[in-house]
Amino acid sequence: MMRIVFDRLLQRAPLRRFRSASAVDIFGPAWLSSERWTSLKIMSKHRSLLMIVALLFSLTLVSSETVREQLKSDSKFHLYAVIFGITVNTNSKIDGFRVAKITDPRSGTTDPVDVKIPKKFVEAARRKLAATKKYEPEFKDGRPIEFFTYLLYSPGHPEIVISDLDVSLAKQP
């Protein structure tokens, strides 16, 4: 049946009955160039590999979803606001860096929540803040004044410091 359709479409041959056609009969080199024939043979032999590549590509597209979109669409995806207390020395370098509070933005309150923040996340947050911003030192009675800032933490992705909700997790600055 397939051969009849291909004959009719590609060779404009009249409809007629043929014996049971194999892949070679259907996709024979009579109407395909050798390049196309080779491509078709490779595609049929490596169909499972192509399926895996297509699956990985689709997962890449899903991961390109912004954090904000992922937060709305995936109920298992969770973010916590980690508030850091920072002091800066006279050279504008971060001197003190501590986790002051952890809150759950979805709760609608600023009440602290009991979530363990990994040490590598705190270190990555410190590096990120030190690299992206230059803080001016402020002193009161000769002592540096502590100020506060926050970054977002996702338990499912502890190695990623989230600072922009409109960028995907893979592209966080």
Between 82 and 46, where is the model more confident?
82
With 50 as the cut, is the pLDDT of residue 76 above it?
yes
Query: Mind listing the pLDDT tens digit for each residue in 94-148?
Result: 889 999 999 998 888 889 999 999 999 999 999 999 888 788 888 898 888 899 9
With 60 as the cut, is the pLDDT of residue 18 above it?
no
- Are 36 and 101 contained in the same domain? no
Dihedral of CA atoms 70, 74, 78, 79 in degrees, nearest 10, equals: 20
Rounded to an integer, what distance in angstroms lies between the CA atom of residue 113 and that of residue 104?
7
Which residues span the domain enclosing 123? 68-171
- Are 162 and 81 contained in the same domain? yes
Query: Where a domain ends, among 65, 80, 108?
Result: 65
Per the CB < 8 A criterion, the answer to whether 83 and 148 are in contact is yes
- Are 35 and 116 contained in the same domain? no
